[in-house]
Amino acid sequence: MTQPSTISVERLTPGIRKITFSNPPVNLIVGETVSRLVEVVTELSEDPQVHVVVFTSSTPGYFFNHFDLGRVADFMPSDPEATPEWIDLVVRLSTAPFISIASIRGRTRGGGDELALACDLRYASREHALFGQPEVGGGILPGGGGTEHLPRLIGRDRALEAILSSDDYDADAAERYGWVTRTVADTELDGFVDGMATRLASFDKAALATAKAQVNRGTLPPDADLRAAYTQFLTSLTWPGPQAFQPQFEKLAAEKGPEELELRLGHYLGIARQESR
C-alpha cells in the first residue's frame, strides 16, 4: 500500500503556492520528503505564474525537523558522482525564480533548519519557534548547508556557538542573531505571512527574480562547498564517535520517550554525551 506523501501543495492564488509538511508525530525528514520537494520546487520554478511559495507545517510543535537517521540509507546518493538530492534541493530553492517564505511555528532543527536557511525570507512565531543544528552533539556533521548558510547570516562566532553547542535557540535569540528575518506574535504569524506573500505576488515577477539573483551573487555559498559538506556529513556517520554515543542516546529515548526527547533535544544531547564518557 502506497504511503501518503509528507508534502502537499496548495494553490492559494494564481501567484502563490503553499507547501505543507506533515510527518507526525515529530516531523522527521525522510527520503520521500526530499524527493517530493525536489519535484515540487522544480515544477514551481518552471511555472511562470508562481511568484511566491510559502513553506509551513501541519504538525503541532514542529516545522521541518532533522533527518530521520534511523533511515540514513534514504540520504545516501546512489551515484557518488551525482549531486546529492538534498544539495540539489537547497540549491534549487535558494536560486529559484520565485520568492520562498518559511512560516515557522515549532521546532526547526538540522535538515529542517537548513531548508529554512535556503528560503529567501524566514518569519517565526515568537512564542513557538525553536532552532538548532544538533549534529555535532551526536558526533556527526551538518551536511545540508548549515555550515555554509548560517555563518553568512549570523557571523562566524555565533554560527560556531550554535553548531558546536548543538543547543536549541528560541525565536528571540534567532531574531537578535539574524537567523530569521523577523519574529511575529504567534496569533499574527499567519496573517503577516499572507500579507507579505500577497504584496510580493502583486509585483512584477521579472523584477522579483532578478533582484533576488543580484542579492544571491554576493551572499550564497558556492555549490561545490555545499557538496563537500554533504560528503563530510556522510563520512561522519562512519566515525567511532556516533557509534559510541548512539547506545546512550537510545537508552535516554527508551526512558523519556521519543516525543519528549524531541521536545528538548538540545538538553538531552548534552546529557547523553556526558553519560557516554
pLDDT score recorded for residue 3? 78
Residue ranges with strand state E in the chain: 7-13, 16-21, 52-57, 99-104, 107-109, 121-125, 130-132, 169-170, 182-184
Starting at the earlier edge strand, list the strands of the sheet with 99-104: 7-13, 16-21, 52-57, 99-104, 121-125, 182-184
Low-confidence ranges of the chain (pLDDT < 70): 1-2, 276-277
Instruction: Look up the pTM and report it.
Output: 0.95
- Choosing from 135, 148, 175, 262, the catalytic residue is 135
Any idea which residue has 507579505 for its cell? 196
Q: What is the pLDDT of residues 42-77, one digit of tens each?
A: 999 999 999 999 999 999 999 999 999 888 778 787
pLDDT score recorded for residue 2? 66
Q: Which domains does the chain have, with CATH numbers?
A: 7-203+218-236 (3.90.226.10), 240-275 (no CATH)
pLDDT score recorded for residue 276? 65
Has 260 been annotated as catalytic? no
pLDDT score recorded for residue 277? 65
Q: What is the pLDDT of residues 82-101, one digit of tens each?
A: 889 999 999 999 999 999 99
Question: What backbone phi and psi angles, to 5 degrees, belong to 94?
Answer: -70, -20
Distance CA 47, CA 123 (A): 25
pLDDT score recorded for residue 253? 84
pLDDT score recorded for residue 129? 98
- Choosing from 85, 114, 148, 262, the catalytic residue is 114
Has 135 been annotated as catalytic? yes
pLDDT score recorded for residue 242? 85
pLDDT score recorded for residue 26? 96
pLDDT score recorded for residue 271? 86
